[in-house]
Amino acid sequence: MRLDELGDLADLRLDDQRSVRYLRAGSGRPLVLLHTIRTQLEYFTDVVPMLTGHYTVYVLDLPGHGRSSKPTTVEYDEPYLRRGVVDTMAKLDLRDVTMVGDSIGAVLALTVASQVPKSVARVVASNPYDYDTRFADGIRRGNRFADLILGGVALPGVGPALGAAENRYVTSRIFQGGLADGKRIPGPLLDEFDATLKRPGFHYVERNVYQNWRSWGAARDLYAGVTAPVTLVYGEQDWSRPVERARTARALDVEPIVLPETGHFAFLEQPQRLAEIVIGHPDPSI
């Protein structure tokens, strides 16, 4: 099922430079879904139908991602993306929100909860991308092909020449490294990614997100300010290392849930299990 068959897709104008595409579906208390690095709201196609009977689900294209606007005069670091999420929630007048995120979306779910604690009731953070030690470190851990492409030829002032040679095949191989046992990314989702990489400004955004890798580790300093209950989830084969997972768990004072046979892109591999974790119990209807 396509997402536009589940609810309403719209573009929300935040200011003269920024607009955010989002999906609204379902009914109940609000839930905000925040996607992974280099993806977009279609990433959650499989899990959204499992949540709409319990929540009014809002799925965002993060600033610069998917079909959201892509200004090329800004820095796509964690604070900038966080501001986009906070401003979107304010424009939509969302309160008592369950924040759910994967990868950088998990980091943002936590930092948004820290910044606007009165608006957030709960956080589910899956595979938070808060451990980079180099340009595109996480995704480069996935496979040698990703490491070659993302850490290859450097250009003065811009880092590795990411984007210049990217195409559908390259995207597929890079993302394959984030799935357990080298599974392939679904064809319709890969089609969406391929369409996005052709949009004006995409290559600037992609490269700039990775260039600002230090901001994702720095975001851990905000975890201590999260007052809402947190559920921390890791795929057994996530890119993060055990010591990095333990560090994040300590910062949040929680015991993580570990999903077997699951990589970094957990909502692609385990949508039903993630939905059950978000809902808080198994749902016979899913």
> Can you tell me the mean pLDDT for 94-110?
98
What is the structure's pLDDT at 258? 97
On whether residue 268 sits in a domain, the answer given is yes
Looking up residue 231, the CATH number of its domain turns out to be 3.40.50.1820
On whether residue 151 sits in a domain, the answer given is no
Residues 6 or more apart in contact with residue 187 via CB below 8 angstroms: none
On whether residue 17 sits in a domain, the answer given is yes
- Whole-angstrom distance, CA of residue 274 vs CA of residue 280: 10
Give the SS3 label for residue 148. Answer: helix
On whether residue 193 sits in a domain, the answer given is no
> Can you tell me the mean pLDDT for 207-226?
95
On whether residue 155 sits in a domain, the answer given is no
Buried b / exposed e over 125-142, threshold 16 CB at 10 Å, is bbbbbbbbeebbbbbbbb
Range with lowest mean pLDDT among 64-68, 88-92, 203-207, 219-223: 203-207
On whether residue 24 sits in a domain, the answer given is yes
On whether residue 188 sits in a domain, the answer given is no
> Can you tell me the mean pLDDT for 132-158?
75
Residue 156 pLDDT greater than 90, yes or no: no
* Block residue for tokens 């390259």: 170
Instruction: Tell me the DSSP string of 217-268.
Output: HHGGGGGGG--S-EEEEEETT-SS-HHHHHHHHHHHT-PPEEETT--S-HHH
Cα end-to-end distance, the chain, whole Å: 14
Domain count, the chain: 1
**Pairing state of beta strands 29-34 and 8-13?**
unpaired
> Can you tell me the mean pLDDT for 211-238?
97
Measuring CA to CA, how many Å separate 261 from each of 41, 178, 182, 238, 283?
A: 24, 12, 11, 10, 22
On whether residue 165 sits in a domain, the answer given is no
Please, what is the Cα angle at 238 between 160 and 52, to 5 degrees?
Answer: 105
DSSP state of 47: T
Q: Which domain holds residue 232?
A: 3-133+213-279
Which of 125, 124, 103, 99 lies closest to 112, judged by CA?
99
> Can you tell me the mean pLDDT for 194-208?
92
> In angstroms, what is the C-alpha Rg of the chain?
17
